[in-house]
Amino acid sequence: MKNFILIFLMVLFGQQTVNAQKTLKVWVVRHAEKLTDDPKDKDPDLSPEGKARAEALKEYLGGQKIDSIFSTNYKRTKLTGYPLADKVGISIKTYNPAQQNALAKQLMENAKGKKILIIGHSNTVQEIVEAFGAKKPVKDLTDDDYDYIFTVTIKGDKAEVKVDRFGAAHHSKE
């Protein structure tokens, strides 16, 4: 019986060590192209190019087992994530961009071993990456940059970011 208890305790503590080392993987993207025909519309739908980019995002991440998708509460961010959310069968959760540091902290504490997509805006995506402890991935992100995808990998207290592009090139690569 003592051996059984000893083995049980070793397995229990070993599992806790494994859980502490699980990797959190987060993809961060800007919403896809939006309609610009009505400058007064503060919450426009996606343009045809944006709808194609949302589909490209689904294809880019479709082979991953995405556990959660977070989006700001705008049509363009949610519409960017819907094709992937529908494919993997999950709902999109909204977050307040003013609370993105709290979201990153919460995910780093509670989502180890998970794969997350966060959809933001040109003026927030790099800050989201930095909130996870990674370095700012590109010098500047402009209103014309729609094709970047940042992959942040967090293991323990180390965060690394990889920069890639998806979908049709939105502008010439530098």
State yes or no: pLDDT of 60 exceeds 90: yes
The per-residue pLDDT for 140 is: 86
* Report field, pTM of the whole predicted structure over 0.95: no
Residues in Cβ contact with 161 at an 8 Å cutoff, skipping those fewer than 6 apart: 129, 134, 135, 137, 150, 151, 152, 153
Phi, psi of 51 (to 5 degrees): -65, -40
**What is the structure's pLDDT at 3?**
57
Q: What are phi and psi of 35, to 5 degrees?
A: -70, 140
**Averaged pLDDT for residues 83-110:** 96
For residues 69-89, give the mean pLDDT. Answer: 97
- The predicted model gives 126-150 an average pLDDT of 94
Q: CATH for 23-165?
A: 3.40.50.1240
Question: For residues 160 and 83, what is the distance between their CA atoms, to the nearest angstrom?
Answer: 27
Residue 33, pLDDT score? 97
In this structure, what DSSP letter does residue 63 have?
Answer: T
Give residue limits of the domains in the chain.
23-165
Model pLDDT, residue 68: 98
As a whole number, mean pLDDT of residues 113-142 equals 95
Task: Give the containing element (helix H, strand E) for 165.
Answer: strand 158-165
- Determine the 3-state secondary structure of 73 from DSSP: coil
Q: Dump pLDDT digits (tens) for 12-35.
A: 555 444 444 699 999 999 999 999
